[in-house]
Amino acid sequence: MLPSTLAAVNLRQTVIDRARVEGDLLKVDDFLNHRVEPNVIAEVAAAFAHLFADGEPDLILTAEASGIPPALATGLEMSLPVVYAKKYLGPGDRYSYTREVHSPTKGTEYRVEVARRALDAGTRVIIIDDFLAGGRTAEALGQIAEEAGCVVLAFGFVLEKTFTGGRERLEANGWNVESLLMVDAIGQGSFDLRAAQ
C-alpha cells in the first residue's frame, strides 16, 4: 500500500501538472525518465523504500534506460546495490542471463541481458521500473533473477497502466506487484490518475 506521505502527494501532483499525452502514451520524460528532476526522483525513492524495507532486499534490479533513475535513487535511499539489464538488438554471445522481449510500442524484438557475475544465488531482489504496461520487460527480469537463483521479493513501478495486462502477467508468475500511481485511462489528450490503494 502506498504510504500517505508528502512524497506520495507530491508525486501525484507532479504527474498531473507535468505529464503529457501523445497518442496512447503518457509521457513523463520532462521530469522522470529523460530529464530527471532530483526532488521527484527522491520522492519516488522514499516511497519505494517505505514499501520494500520490511522485505530486507539485498539488491535492486532494473533495465536500461528509463528504469535506472528510480532504481538508483531507491538504491541510494536503501543503501542497496543496483544492477541494470542491458538491452541489445541482434545476436549476442556474452556470458549472461538473457531473455528475448517483444516491444509492441516500438514494434521490435530486443534482448535483455544481465552478466552472470552480477547476480548471486540466494540474493533477495526487488525489481524497479518507471512504467508497468504490458509487463514483458519486467517478466523477463523476474525470469532472469529466478534463473540466477535469486529470490524475487517484489516489483515496484512508479506508474502502472491498469488496462494493459502487465500486473496480471507478473502476478501469474506468483510475484508481488506494487505501484505508486495507477493510470486508469489515456485518451484525447487527457489521463485518469489515482494513488495506489
On whether residue 193 sits in a domain, the answer given is no
With beta carbons less than 8 A apart as the criterion, state whether 138 and 155 touch.
Answer: yes
Summarised one tens digit per residue, pLDDT across range 30-66 is: 999 999 999 999 999 999 999 999 999 999 999 999 9
Summarised one tens digit per residue, pLDDT across range 151-187 is: 999 999 999 999 999 999 999 999 999 999 999 999 9
Does residue 87 sit in helix, strand or coil? strand
- Range(s) of the domain holding residue 13: 6-186
On whether residue 17 sits in a domain, the answer given is yes
On whether residue 41 sits in a domain, the answer given is yes
On whether residue 168 sits in a domain, the answer given is yes
On whether residue 157 sits in a domain, the answer given is yes
Nearest to 40 by CA among 125, 126, 127, 130: 130
On whether residue 80 sits in a domain, the answer given is yes
- Range from 8-17, 53-62, 107-116 that averages highest in pLDDT: 53-62
On whether residue 108 sits in a domain, the answer given is yes
On whether residue 63 sits in a domain, the answer given is yes
| Cα separation values, 58 from 17, 94, 152, Å | 35, 25, 11
CATH number reported for the structural domain that contains residue 43 in this entry: 3.40.50.2020
Total domains in the chain come to 1
